[in-house]
Amino acid sequence: MSAITTNVKAILAELPPGVELVAAAKTRTAVEVLEAVEAGVPIIGENYVQEAAAVFPAVGRRARWHFIGHLQTNKAGKAVEIFDLVETVDSLGLGRALETRAAAAGRTMEVLIEVNSGREPQKAGVLPDDAEDLVRSLAALPHLRVLGLMTMGPFAGDPEESRPYFRETRRVFEALRRLAVPGVDMRRLSMGMSHSWRVAVEEGANLVRIGTAIFGPRPRS
Ligand SMILES: *Cc1c(COP(=O)(O)O)cnc(C)c1O
């Protein structure tokens, strides 16, 4: 077995029931991503529409496709063609761009709201206090379906340092769930990366986005 297959099988064996693995595939080739899918990865996460378009023909609908990067509104049309779900909606403007393109394509786009759980000015995501307003606004768009929240947290370091970010996102998630906004189905919580996914799962994640621990260190660009 190659390293990718071994890594995927080990992670899948350790994930508790109900937690789904997203293979974070930025910089990886179609051959690598296909191998991960054949080893059992159910969802591919891509940060760039163009990279996804290059890998898509090899994998197609054998996996689901999540967009996990920063989506520019002018890429919304292409994103609607490839992705099942966009994890990183953090503005009504982006939501409206997806709504327009999803309506034109005759489909519904699933979305998660990206939360800036550390309230860091340089990071993407809506502030925790603004999540409710955004959810309510997006809920009014008929071709979008809000399914939950996503957060980044620290990129590296002691996984315990990520815990407060995950806990805060979980708190917002539960609060939104209790609001039971019509048309919103709060059930997906995407948190945790290679170094932090075990802590994220302890804090309630049911989607974990893992790159390095599947594919190895990323090539330098
Ligand atoms: C790259 C990336 C990941 C995975 O990071 P690793 O440390 O390689 O596991 C997860 N989420 C997002 C949004 C990413 O860009």
Pocket mutation for ligand 1, best pick of 155, 193, 215 (most atoms within 8 Å of C-beta): 193
d(CA 143, CA 188): 18
Residue 157 has pLDDT above 90, yes or no: no
d(CA 25, CA 218): 10
Sketch the domain layout of the chain as residue ranges: 3-215
Nearest alpha carbon, ligand 1 atom 7: 194
Q: Which of 83, 84, 142, 133 is nearest to 113 (CA)?
A: 133
Give the pLDDT band (50/70/90) at residue 1. confident
Nearest alpha carbon, ligand 1 atom 11: 209
Pocket of ligand 1 (CB under 6 A): 24, 26, 47, 68, 152, 193-194, 209-213
Report the Cα 137 to chain-centroid distance in Å: 20
**Atom of ligand 1 at shortest distance to CA of 47?**
15
Give the pLDDT band (50/70/90) at residue 156. confident
**Atom of ligand 1 at shortest distance to CA of 197?**
9
pLDDT in tens, 69-86: 999 999 999 999 999 999
Residue 111 has pLDDT above 80, yes or no: yes
Provide the pLDDT for residue 147.
98
pTM of the predicted model over 0.85: yes
d(CA 154, CA 163): 10
With a CB cutoff of 8 Å and minimum separation 6, the contacts of 173 are 148, 149, 186, 189, 204
CA of 10 to the centre of ligand 1 (A): 18
CA of 208 to the centre of ligand 1 (A): 9
**Atom of ligand 1 at shortest distance to CA of 22?**
10
Mean pLDDT, residues 152-168 = 93
**Atom of ligand 1 at shortest distance to CA of 156?**
7
Residue 220 has pLDDT above 80, yes or no: no
CATH code assigned to 3-215: 3.20.20.10
CA of 151 to the centre of ligand 1 (A): 11
